[in-house]
Structure 1
Amino acid sequence: MTSLTPPRRWLAGWILACICAAAPAQAQVVAYEVEFIHRAGFNGDFFNGGYFIAPALGGEGTFVFTTLERGRRILETTHGTGSFFTGVTSSGKYQTVVSASASSSEGTVRASYLAFAEATRWITLTTPEAITRLKLATRLHGESIAALDEGGTTALDGSTGFLNFSEMRLTLDETLTKQINEAGLTTADAVTRATTRLKRRGYSTPATTSTDTAE
């Protein structure tokens, strides 16, 4: 499993834990574009966006996060780290939910991600094998909260620790979702497709990032 990689100040030891069990095997996939809007915090930037890819019927999803670090556009993929499911309230309303949690092995880094909305939209997913209609939320809203105790370590500027509170928004990318399903892509292949999109916007993985902000 790839570890979640926020900005460099608080990289070490992150392991994302999926909150629910894996979904049964099936072909349909959904792609949500993710946006983070910083609301409060100190000592560092956080993710600014990316994609969330998951089986349409629910299960483990993958985040592809983006961030700006010293002018560089960086992306990080976290395979199978999110949970995607549909819940039903006591009044019979369907809710689309995306969630994830993270912590370091030392317990010094803790983070949570949660967004949801009422499922009010019927969408049709067409694959080479089947046509499926699903009721989903196309716009989810929630929060991301993260904190790091740097154990008394002090930066050159005298600061220590990290905290971030961000609004989290997910919007169904209907064009990308349609392309993924019509091509019969697996979830892993869909993640590759989303990653390619982000690279075309100038993002790259840390190992390949140059001083340029565009390809």
Structure 2
Amino acid sequence: MDSTPVNGGGKQSSNPSKEFPNPKKPSGIRHPTVYDAVAAGRISVTGFITSKPLISCSRDTSRSSRTALPPEQVLFRSRKAPTRFAECDIYFSNERHDTSDLPSSDLLKALHSYSSNYYSKATADRGVDDWQSLDGSALLALGILAEELMRESVGSTGDLALAEGDGMCGVLESSSNQTSISRSEPAKKKRRLDIISDFDSD
């Protein structure tokens, strides 16, 4: 019987971790993304905008800028960002295409900012580890749902914005009936007391 090793004559490794190395652990340093720039204007030229200005001991002014950058500047400041040209800017290429099927960009920014601020206060760690809770696809879907809900509420022309809903008439009628009944109840009690007093006098 042949005793040749299966691995081609080499010595078989007794440590499986060398054959299957562990994947790289994510770095604890968080890099600025377009998400942070769009959400609430959290990125400046020097990085994340802190809640308190950082003032150096050797100078009187703050060393970190608190002026928020727009998303396109944050994107194209990264290392592998493509070159931008004024004639055909790839960031605003959507303006050259039909975007009638997409939600409004202002609506998406408002939803993005609200959800980001909400999760930064609702979670125990104030959203420190919540980096990708709302990606682009989920944001577009949320914007489409919001537009459909508004379209059903106000109508295609918006004329229903100043009109009452179908269920409001019944609510108003029931509330008016309750107020009339509550007003008539003291009168009935007073009459009953008058009748009792008449019997007592007899």
Q: Which structure is larger by alpha-carbon Rg, 1 or 2? A: 2
Q: Same fold (TM over 0.5)?
A: no
Which has a greater percent of strand? Answer: 1
Judging by fraction of residues, say which structure has more helix. Answer: 2
What TM-score range do you get, normalising by the shorter chain?
A: under 0.3
